[in-house]
Amino acid sequence: MTEVKYTEENIRSLDWKEHIRLRPGMYIGKLGDGSSQDDGIYILIKEVIDNCIDEYVMGHGKQIDLFIEEGKVSIRDYGRGIPLGKVVDCVSKINTGGKYDSKAFKKSVGLNGVGTKAVNALSSFFMVQSFRDGKTKSAEFNGGSLVKDENIKEDQSQNGTLIEFYPDNEIFKNFRFRAEYIENQLWNYAYLNSGLRIKYNSKTFYSKNGLLDLLERKTEPDSIRYPIIHLKGEDIEVALTHGQQYGEEYYSFVNGQNTTQGGTHLAAFREGIVKAVREFYNKSFDTKDIQTAIVAAISVRVEEPVFESQTKTKLGSMNMAPDGPSVRSFIMDFIKLELDNYLHKNAEVANQLLKRIQQSERERKEISGIKKLANQRAKKANLHNKKLRDCRIHYDEGKADDSLKLNTTIFITEGDSASGSITKARNVQTEAVFSLRGKPLNCYGLTKKIVYQNEELNLLQHALNIEDGIEGLRYNRVVIATDADVDGMHIRLLLLTFFLQFFPELVKQGHLYILDTPLFRVRDKKQTFYCYSEKEKQEAIQKLRGKAEVTRFKGLGEISPNEFEDFIGDNIHLEPVFLMEHTKIDDVLGYYMGKNTPERQEFIIDNLKFELDQIIEDGVFESTKISQNEVLETAS
């Protein structure tokens, strides 16, 4: 074995931009391609807007303009503007910024002076311009390196700061901004900053009633048991209600930051609700009976917050301020007093809350015996060897860092061939595979009792660790990976029904995806192209000058493990599952998974006619000996 020398020559010092570009995950989490809401390109936007929000919180500027076109991001606020003599330093010198002065930025989102510098370093083009008291100053950068430094000049534009940037394609490969994620992020900013107006391209985001508006947007009037309880105090705001769904649904924020992984404040909030309810009714309800079906939001403002990562998704602070009360005691005292007062003043709400708790209690007792047997069956099934090929991060359960768990993925497949190919091709460190046996049960209209009675569904919820809600979800991305044929689409619909029926928060919080695998392989002796559409196939044939072998993949099992490495690695194509605004889950499931109706048959046939034109062109009917009538009859 060759000896590796360790000398002074091995020691290297990186400047700030080199370090950010070499280790971007330390600053913005995972890179991604934009298919996940926590991918790096959205963190870049967030870091800039956070500074705009801080200006608004300090009483400067009531509007933020965001414009995105062809990968270019433009963000303009109307605050005080960066002091002109420090414009370059504030976006290119680590540990430089106004947030170290607690008098200027109290209870700010970010305090480390890193955010905008990271955006600068990770952009192929970055421009900053400050407008301040009739003058302006601008500078341009490439990958963090200063390329143009304009002199201060006269300008009568309204005070504020403009930042424009292109995420660097060398770092963010094949990325695409998804409007749904950006709009959700902007709505959160609006809810947490009542009165602030945010304009994004042609849309405006504005909230008058804060977290009350948030819950009203996340729920439907006929899906909740009682009117939303909305409580506000100094440095704290909460809203809560109970619905008809299973599990719990929380939205938590610290200093305007959406803490998707919760933290100290969310734990105290959940605990405070349980304690307040028990004391109000003077009954020792089971914790789960109180928490089941809850939909709630909490926002707190903390001086000098301590987050567990640079992306600020989990609060670690123990105190509201250096010399103030603990976060836990502050929140619990507030909930105990204000929720108790509210329930005493609103007898009908208190009555409906009690009925919802009693309903959860009955349902829990009804399935307790079945649940116990199901847990025993899951253990006997040797889940982690036969059904689940886990990732190494979970081998030492409880020891994995939360930032590592953000990169975990589980693929849900059907059949041995498909699961075998993915298992061999996956990244064993972060990617797991769960293999279904046949088509899962159609869960529409059934109670959660069926999940424990059905072996496949019971084992699936155990693999994900979501039996008692998604707080313990073991994987950040849950990916449905089925064949691109009629049976595969049916299995996909059945799995979507399962998650929407019993674990809708898994979808609402952006954890569920569909794996998009190539339909065609086009190759000659020198080149190979994998194509995801008919258009891509034709383009590949033209590139090979018409002399190409074309293969139509009919199932995942036909794709070799070597080929799969390209589809579930850096080049993975994932389609996130969204619930659009005001979508009623019961209506959606009833239409697609309920009794067959003429309307649904008509919808399927009309859409199939379009797809069949492409299939017929490809000659699939001839090669597979399937007739057009047979396909229509099967689908309808």
What's the CA gap between 91 and 144, in Å, rounded? Answer: 9
Instruction: Name the pLDDT band for 228 (thresholds 50, 70, 90).
Output: very high
Check whether 632 has a pLDDT greater than 50.
no
Please report whether residue 149 resides in a domain.
yes
Same domain for 513 and 425, yes or no, is yes
Say if residue 432 is in the same domain as residue 532: no
> In the structure, how many helices (H) and strands (E) does the chain have?
24, 23
β-strands 294-300, 249-254 pairing: parallel
Quote the tokens at residue 614. 């492409």
Q: Could you give the CA distance from residue 428 to residue 332 in angstroms, rounded to a whole number? A: 42
Average pLDDT over residues 608-632: 46
Looking at per-residue confidence, does 545 or 626 come out higher? 545
How many whole angstroms separate alpha carbon 76 and alpha carbon 87? 15
Mean pLDDT within 614-623: 45
- pLDDT at residue 22 greater than cutoff 70: yes
What does the pLDDT look like over 470-510, one tens digit per residue?
A: 878 889 999 999 887 778 888 999 999 999 888 888 988 88
pLDDT 10s digits, 368-421: 778 777 777 776 665 655 688 888 887 655 555 555 677 899 999 987 777 888
What confidence score (pLDDT) does residue 331 get? 94
Same domain, 80 and 49: yes
What sections of 82-178 are H helices per DSSP? Answer: 87-92, 115-121
- pLDDT value at 328 more than 70: yes
Q: Which two tokens stand for residue 407?
A: 């990169």
Q: Are residues 235 and 321 in the same domain?
A: yes
Confidence label for 188 from pLDDT (cuts 50, 70 and 90): very high
Helices marked H in 282-346: 287-291, 327-345
Which among 174, 206, 238 is the end of a domain?
Answer: 206
Residues 498 and 438 in one domain: yes
**What's the chain's average pLDDT?**
83
Question: Residues in the chain, how many?
Answer: 636
Check: pTM over 0.85? Answer yes or no.
no
Residue 130 in any domain: the answer is yes
CA distance 296 to 234: 19
Residues 586 and 610 in one domain: no
Secondary structure of residue 552 in the 3-state scheme: strand
How far apart CA 524 and CA 480 sit, in angstroms, is 32
Count: domains in the chain: 5
Residue 462 lies in a domain: yes
CATH for 234 = 3.30.230.10
Side chain identity at residue 276, one-letter code: A
Q: Are 540 and 531 in contact (CB under 8 A)?
A: yes
CATH number of residue 171's parent domain: 3.30.565.10
State how far the Cα of 384 lies from the Cα of 205, in Å rounded to an integer: 46
Q: How far apart are CA 31 and CA 173, in angstroms?
A: 9
The residue-averaged pLDDT of 352-372 equals 89
- As given in the structure block, the two tokens for residue 339 are 């929720």
Does a structural domain hold residue 4? no
Would you tell me how many other CB atoms lie within 10 Å of the CB of residue 363? Answer: 17
Q: Is residue 92 part of a domain?
A: yes
The widest CA-to-CA distance across the chain, in whole angstroms, is: 79
**From the centroid of its chain, how far is CA 449?**
29
Residues 460, 445: one domain?
Answer: yes
Q: Is 223 exposed, middle or buried (0-12, 13-18, 19+ CB in 10 A)?
A: middle
Return the percentage of the chain with pLDDT > 70, whole number: 84
Cα-only R_g, the chain: 27
Residue 74 is assigned to a structural domain of this protein: yes
Segment 344-356 shows an average pLDDT of: 96
The residue among 20 and 48 whose pLDDT is bigger is 48
Answer whether residue 230 is part of any domain. yes
Mean pLDDT is lowest, of 21-30, 93-102, 377-386, for 93-102
Question: Between these two residues, 395 and 626, which has the higher pLDDT value?
Answer: 395
Question: How far, in Å, are 104, 117, 206, 306, 579 from residue 107 at the CA level?
Answer: 10, 21, 22, 11, 33
Which residue, of 365, 398, 420, is where some domain finishes? Answer: 365
Which range among 188-192, 347-351, 533-537 shows the weakest confidence by mean pLDDT? Answer: 533-537
The band of 438, judged by pLDDT with boundaries at 50, 70 and 90, is: confident
User: What CA–CA distance (Å, rounded) separates 336 from 144?
Assistant: 49
Residues 234 and 132 in one domain: no
Question: Which CA distances in Å does 604 have to 84, 288, 361, 591?
Answer: 60, 41, 41, 12
> Which pLDDT belongs to residue 611?
52
CA-to-CA dists, residue 286 to 290, 292, 343, 420, angstroms:
7, 10, 19, 43
DSSP characters for 173-199? TT----HHHHHHHHHHHHHHSTT-EEE
In the Cβ-directed half-sphere of 325, how many Cα atoms lie within 13 Å? 11
Q: In which band, very low, low, confident or very high, does the pLDDT at 2 lie, cut at 50, 70 and 90?
A: low
User: Is residue 191 over pLDDT 80?
Assistant: yes
Place of tokens 């192209």: 529
Eight-state DSSP code of residue 224: B
Whole domain around residue 360: which residue ranges?
211-365
Question: Residue 447 pLDDT > 60, yes or no?
Answer: yes
Is 66 a residue whose pLDDT tops 90?
yes
Q: What pLDDT, on the 0 to 100 scale, is given for residue 625?
A: 38
Q: What is the CATH number of the domain that holds 502?
A: 3.40.50.670
d(CA 45, CA 73): 8
Residues 419 and 511 in one domain: yes
Q: Do 562 and 525 reside in the same domain of the chain?
A: no
Q: So what's the pLDDT on residue 273?
A: 96
Tally of CB atoms within 10 A around 482: 25
Q: What is the per-residue pLDDT across 259-305, written as a single tens digit (0 to 9) for each?
A: 877 888 999 999 999 999 999 999 999 999 999 999 999 999 888 77
Residue type, 90: C
Strand-pairing partners, residue 435, are 413
Element housing 138 (H / E): strand 135-142
Same domain for 600 and 583: no
Output phi, psi for 193, to 5 deg.
-135, 70
Contact 551, 521 (CB under 8 A): yes
Cβ burial of 281 (10 Å; 0-12, 13-18, 19+) is middle
Question: What type of residue is 38?
Answer: D
Instruction: Name the amino acid, one letter, at 421.
Output: S
Residue 307: predicted pLDDT: 67
Answer whether residue 631 shows pLDDT above 60: no
**HEC-encoded secondary structure of 416-484:** HHHHHHHHHHCCCCCEEEEEECCCCCCCCCCCCHHHHHCHHHHHHHHHHCCCCCHHHCCCCEEEECCCC
564 and 544 part of one domain: no
Residue in this structure with the two tokens 């809600």, named with its chain if needed: 469
pLDDT (tens digit, 9 = 90+) per residue, 214-224? 999 888 888 89
